[in-house]
Amino acid sequence: MTNPLKIFEEEAKNLLNNALEKLNLKTEIVLETPPEGKGDFAFACFPLSKIAKKAPDKIAGDIVKNIGKTESMEKVENIGGYVNFYIDEERLKENTVKSILDEKEKYGCFPQKNAKIILEHTSANPTGPVHVGRARNPIIGDSLARLLKAYGYNVKTEYYVNDMGKQTAILAWGAENIKEKNDEKRENYRLVKIYQKVNKMMESDSEIEKHINQMLIKYEHGDKDVEKLVKDVCKNVLSANEETLKKINVSVDDYVYESTFTKNRSVDEIIEKLKKSEYCKNENGACYLDLEKFGIHGRDTRFFFTRKDGTSLYPTRDLAYHLHKFKNSDIAINVLGEDHKLETEQLGIALSLLGVKKKPEIVFYSFVSLPEGKMSTRKGTVVYLDDLVDEAVERAYKEVRKRRKGEQVLREFKKISELEMKRIAKIIGAGAVRYNIIRVQNEKQIIFKWEDALNFEGNSAPFIQYAHARACSILGKSKGYKKFDVKFLNDETEIRLIKTLAGFPNMVEESA
């Protein structure tokens, strides 16, 4: 792969090294991006002031004199104590355009590395559809996976299936015992209604909860009938949710079931090790770690890893899952909601008590909400990711139809069939949801607004997609080109675009 901007960056560093050597000065060379119009790279001379016992401006002037004329740079200037480099734009244009035409879609992709990453994302409980509040998880996870793959990492994405949790047992019990039909066409929508109904029934019937608790014990002890019931329900929900994720171009390489780690006895091994810890305590038969000495305070100092009956808890199985990750990868990355910060801290302490030196890298995110307010799964007032994407596609379709009737610039719109308009609307809708969510910093809350997501004029996916469609239209009219002469790229906006494209590999490297 080629990195056009990096070539000039390295040349600027070499020029600085040679000049500093002539001046008998030594320092780490760090290049900055100067304000617009003041070059492409800048080197601050302020740290050298004490060493050289000169003003930064004077040092910068001496460095510029010692660099002299160079083929790689249009000019080198002293600007207020900085050495500013102006790239030779003709060379940059030639290098960048050639690299892009040669490498095509591989431009900006780095050579394969040996390091393997397991990136866990989504991992929503298999009790119903993914809701809007956590829509950020699969989008961040998939975007990270694409970025890390482009940088050359061997990335495997995993979805951790909580098939042993109480919520899953509630749904499994409901699927077995509630036979009334509901009018939902999607399987995950049908099942979540059952889940919500059982939760309501449990408020007035304590016997149901006893049956569910018995199911959990049986499942952990390998009861085949319970296992089949739970696994069937999980697979139905996950299969439907997989279709939802496909709508926004998100895929998962592997589904890892929580029960795997009770079956292979790794959970038992963890329980035995934690019981031997000096921080292990017992409360009515339930075992926990006292984490007060590790800076955890209040009621959260207790990290329970067994129930009173000796069966395992979610955190125990999560520890086993992380040991699996560390065994099968060099780097483990978890994408988690901000409500998991405490659990993550507790998990890290428990891992260290198990003698594990590695820790997962965590990417936290704040939740997505709609202007109407927050959402709750249990109460049945939630807006699902499916609903959001379907609404985005419907709105995009209306916009495409409107533009087909009134478009003056892009005449091709008038020739688009109904089927093609629907295809375009799906692309625009999915792009609108993904881009509007990923463009905001992870830990900033998002209020999803349609006027922002489907804006064809601003910082949005439709604006980018429309620009791409226009570019494709222009290329189509050119009827294929044999040669491309970069000397015609002289407009200020064209030069700015070339520099942005030249910096794309750097952006991938810095982001990864």
Q: Is there a single domain that holds both residue 394 and residue 354?
A: no
Same domain? 251 vs 359: yes
CATH number for 52:
3.30.1360.70
**Does the residue 239 lie in any domain?**
yes
Average pLDDT over residues 325-347: 96
Q: Tell me: do 212 and 348 sit in the same domain.
A: yes
For the ranges 141-145, 307-311, 336-340, 374-378, which has the lowest average pLDDT?
Answer: 374-378
Amino acid at 506: N
- pLDDT of res. 185: 78
Query: Which residues fall within 8 angstroms of residue 418, CB to CB, at 6 or more apart?
Result: none
Does residue 376 lie in a domain region?
no
Does 38 lie in the same domain as 3?
A: yes
Q: Is residue 382 part of a domain?
A: no
| Weakest mean pLDDT among 98-102, 117-121, 285-289, 372-376 | 372-376
Element (H, E) at 434: helix 418-438
pLDDT (0 to 100) of residue 415? 66
77 and 129 co-located in one domain: no
Output the pLDDT for position 375: 44
Give the separation between CA 163 and CA 216, rounded to whole angstroms.
10
Task: Round to whole Å and give the CA distance between 266 and 256.
Answer: 14
pLDDT band (50, 70, 90) for residue 411 = low
Quick check: is 380 in a domain? no
Determine the Cα–Cα distance for residues 4 and 424; give it in Å rounded to an integer: 34
State residue 373's pLDDT score: 53
Q: Do 59 and 104 sit in the same domain of this protein?
A: yes
Q: Are residues 274 and 128 in the same domain?
A: yes
Query: Closest Cα partner for 384 from 442, 392, 364, 178?
Result: 392
Distance CA 300, CA 63 (A): 58
Asked whether residue 282 falls in the same domain as residue 316, the answer is: yes
Specify if 375 maps to a domain: no
Residues 197, 346 within the same domain: yes
pLDDT at 414: 56
- In this structure, are 99 and 241 located in the same domain? no
The per-residue pLDDT for 378 is 47
Is there a domain that residue 129 lies in? Answer: yes
Question: How many separate domains does the chain show?
Answer: 3
pTM value is 0.90
Q: Which residues contact 43 (CB under 8 A, 6 or more apart)?
A: 12, 16, 29, 30, 31, 32, 63, 82, 83, 85
Strand, helix or coil for residue 383: coil
Report residue 393's pLDDT band, with 50, 70 and 90 as the boundaries.
very high
pLDDT of residue 377: 43
Domain that holds residue 454: 387-478
The residue with greater pLDDT, 374 or 430, is: 430
Taking only the tens place, the pLDDT of each residue in 130-139 is 988 889 999 9
pLDDT digits (tens, 9 = 90+) for 41-94: 999 999 999 899 999 999 999 999 999 888 889 999 999 999 999 999 999 999
Q: What is the CATH number of the domain that holds 261?
A: 3.40.50.620
Q: E strands along 277-406, which residues?
A: 280-283, 286-290, 302-304, 331-337, 361-365, 368-369
Residue ending a domain, among 334, 369, 404, is 369
Sequence-distant (≥ 6) Cβ neighbours of residue 501 within 8 angstroms: 96, 100
Q: Is 303 inside a domain boundary? A: yes
How does pLDDT run across 233-248, given as a tens digit for each residue? 999 999 999 999 999 9
Q: Same domain, yes or no, for 229 and 155? A: yes
Domain end among 343, 369, 395? 369
Q: Could you tell me if residue 379 is inside a domain?
A: no
Q: Are residues 280 and 397 in the same domain?
A: no
**In the listed set 369, 401, 420, which residue is the last one of a domain according to the structure?**
369
